[in-house]
Chain A
């Protein structure tokens, strides 16, 4: 019984749109010809079947992971996709993302943070589904909608909130802001304001991984890089150029498209000749997968395979996650263009609610345990705000500190000394 509802939870919904043109995703999303779960790959790129489960077609609406669940014995926990610990970890991470972003909105409207702030509400399944599978040394590259990627990767909420408040205790010392979250310790390589410009950086990080293994001969190096970006980016040259290079050199990278259908006010269908972004993978010689990005477990299964593929040295994968942002493009966006009916449909597929339902109905954890996590996260976020509030703003002396890694780059002054030796530099009052 529990599983029939679980099945219903997993059943992919058709995706009607607010425009007249039909969404092409009612075509089968994944050709199941072989047991390989990956779509459209040329024969030599087909993977051997995953030992865990068979994926096959279900009446034209794509792969349903629930098939697996239905076929196995209902009572055995081994048939579940996650363990209790994993489930709680995923839940906590998504709740953290949501609570944090909601707090950001509050703080923004209270004048604690400024500029362009892009919130991730609704897309948590993608971040959690992918990033929770990574090791610390793996890298993540994101766009301006990067708070939750940083949090999932392990950057403390305090550091992110401080950064948003522009305080010196922020992860980038207050110098980056909402759109530039970086963490050397957790290998978050940004945070980029222009769409597409992070993808080459991610490709470079993957190149380093391959170089480390093959040139520096550290044969154990299997670091993987994830590049997150949106549907709008998939029309940008850098995207295509990097797909080519990554496939050419079999770089250990996964290109994760967070297709939320909207690039500010530009509908994906109005800007893209072939809206099925996953089609673009095979054109470059890599598998292209489409997955329901509102379902963290599905995302996680696809992510597992894509990341494993990269680690094995087989090259990149393009994963299109169909997802939705519940808020506007940024806090400055009135979000008047999107059809309320569309928003409602996706709100009904809230990934956090769905996971909660799955956890409870699979008897992985009780409602009380989940509520405890909610409370814990609330406290974490409150603490982050408090910390950020109390942190100092950057002093003037910080102004010139990080322009150059080697401050000799400011040159030699008229007196013959390097300008960085001038006390005005350390005070931040020098004119460069």
Chain B
């Protein structure tokens, strides 16, 4: 039975608003005044775990849709004249990733792709579909099943002038590449005294899917976060997926781009013109006054689903998609904390040693004086993700828990 995707429509509607005063808008490469029209009848897709897609709406979702316009406070629309004159185009998140990748490969012949089944098969999540036909088998390289070695090969290629994008078919497989990612990807620029740069992008889907079992449901961001010398970003919408992909490829630093298995079929309208998303910045999803909710990747949608309920109960949560998992955007986060004085972190990592744990520490360290309550962090249970659907549901944070947490925080 297809499970509906909670609050996809709502979340997709809450696009990255034009930059607030919180940071220098010149840092964005796209027009700072751009905003997006409120989406009426936001598209709503159901992604099955077997990859098929249909458009079921269960009653709960239909109600959710009606709430979309009210629940999600979008930035007031600037006049149409200030938005892009082109209409934009609609696509799914995996297509956005592909578009970003293809554009960068067109732009720079040194950009190449390596991974298992990225070429002829088109990628197990179809992110690289059609690229091998267009760019050839060497530029979109089907590797044997040897993660440590082909990641190392990507690093060697990056050192000698190429700009590889290495795909882990599932992020969990990159555990096999930990040696290369930690020692070479992260540290080699430093140990070589700055002589060699590693402009590599390592990307792939991770996170808890639909009953994929423990080993396919891992959150590698918590393991990689200590590695010095790398940046980690997590995409959550087609817009930021394409933007982050392009920014990661253009960056001289090694970047790990975390995608989520369940988000590949999100649909959104994105601009036609070239744009990138800043790798180090967080995204304001929903401005608010009462509580700051920090989240990323799939949990963003659980948070937005909870936000609808919270709004109905009279709360005004501020939702920030941190996007940059390493380093944290302490400016956006800090400004929010200074405004709301309460922080809830909602993440999919395990309780122990996850991104939430680091974020809690960072917020406490930097903004302790501004907090009216201890930081709450909702994480997945420290449990190998079970196969059974009911058990799996209880390992990750659900919207109801988020609502309860906010109520508790705001007492």
Query: A residues within 8 Å of B by Cβ?
Result: 139, 141, 170-177, 180, 182-184, 189-194, 197, 199-212, 214-216, 237-238, 241-242, 244-245, 248-249, 401-406, 408-416, 418-419
Contact = CB atoms under 8 A, between A and B. Distances in A.
B315 interface: no
A241 to B, nearest CB: 4
B184 interface: yes
Contact of B331 (A180, A242, A415): A415
A412 B280 contact: yes
Contacts of A184: 192, 195-196
Interface stretch (B42-50, B94-102, B146-154, B295-303): B146-154
A197 B196 contact: no
Given A182-B191, A200-B150, A212-B161, 20 more contacts: A175-B191, A175-B192, A184-B195, A199-B152, A200-B149, A203-B149, A204-B156, A207-B162, A208-B157, A208-B160, A211-B139, A401-B194, A402-B194, A406-B253, A408-B280, A410-B327, A411-B330, A412-B331, A414-B331, A415-B331
Interface string B164-198: 00000000000000011001100011111111111
A179 to B, nearest CB: 9
A408 B23 CA distance: 14
Interface in B21-79: 22-24
15 contacts: A200-B151, A200-B156, A201-B153, A202-B156, A204-B155, A204-B156, A211-B138, A212-B161, A238-B149, A241-B146, A242-B149, A405-B189, A412-B280, A412-B281, A414-B330
A211 B162 contact: yes
Contacts of A206: 156
A406 B136 CA distance: 31
Given A190-B188, A203-B149, A208 B193 contact: no
Per CB-CB distance, the 7 closest pairs between chain A and chain B, nearest first, are: A204-B156, A200-B152, A411-B327, A173-B193, A172-B193, A182-B192, A241-B149
A402 B159 contact: no
Given A193-B183, A404-B229, A415-B331, A207 B157 contact: yes
Interface string B306-341: 000000000000000000101111111010000000
A193 B326 CA distance: 26
B381 interface: no
B277 to A, nearest CB: 13
A91 to B, nearest CB: 30
B179 A204 contact: no
Nearest to B161: A208
Contact of B148 (A215, A237, A405, A416): A237
Contacts of B24: 416
A401 B329 CA distance: 20
Given A245-B144, A412-B23, A414-B366, A406 B154 contact: no
B244 interface: no
Contacts of A419: 327
Contact of B189 (A183, A203, A403, A415): A403
Contact of B229 (A180, A401, A403): A403
Nearest to B143: A245
B284 interface: no
Interface in B230-268: 231, 251-253
Contacts of B160: 139, 189, 204-205, 208-209
A201 B152 contact: yes
B192 A245 contact: no
A175 B196 CA distance: 13
Q: How big is the B interface, by class?
A: 35 or more
B109 A215 contact: yes
Nearest to A177: B191
Contact of B22 (A141, A411, A416): A416
Contacts of B162: 207-208, 211
A22 B125 CA distance: 53
B200 to A, nearest CB: 10
A142 B69 CA distance: 61
Interface in B269-309: 279-281
A211 B112 contact: yes
A221 B154 CA distance: 19
B88 interface: no
A412 B229 contact: no
B191 A245 contact: no
A405 B156 CA distance: 16
B158 interface: yes
A200 B109 CA distance: 22
B157 A205 contact: yes
Contacts of A191: 191-192
A333 B136 CA distance: 50
A402 B190 contact: yes
A414 B334 contact: yes
A201 B159 contact: yes
A200 B192 contact: no
A412 B184 CA distance: 25
B199 interface: yes
Contacts of A190: 188, 191-192
A408 B179 CA distance: 25
Given A402-B189, A406-B253, A245 B331 contact: no
A245 B146 contact: yes
B189 to A, nearest CB: 6
A99 to B, nearest CB: 25
Contacts of B280: 408-409, 411-412, 418
Given A211-B112, A237-B148, A242-B149, A192 B156 contact: no
B189 A406 contact: no
B210 interface: no
B389 to A, nearest CB: 36
Contacts of A197: 152, 179-180, 183-184
A313 to B, nearest CB: 13
Nearest to B329: A412
A164 to B, nearest CB: 13
A199 B152 CA distance: 8
Interface in B196-237: 196-199, 228-229, 231
Contacts of A173: 193-194
B144 A404 contact: no
Contacts of A212: 161
Given A197-B179, A215-B139, A175 B190 contact: yes
Contact of A175 (B157, B158, B159, B193): B193
Contacts of A201: 152-153, 155-156, 159, 184
A404 B191 contact: no
B184 A215 contact: no
A406 B149 contact: no
B331 A413 contact: yes
Contacts of B366: 414
B110 interface: yes
Contacts of B109: 215-216
A194 to B, nearest CB: 6
Contact of A238 (B152, B161, B251): B152
A318 to B, nearest CB: 16
A209 B162 CA distance: 10
A201 B198 CA distance: 11
Given A173-B193, A197-B179, A241-B146, A215 B138 contact: yes
Contact of A416 (B159, B192, B331): B331
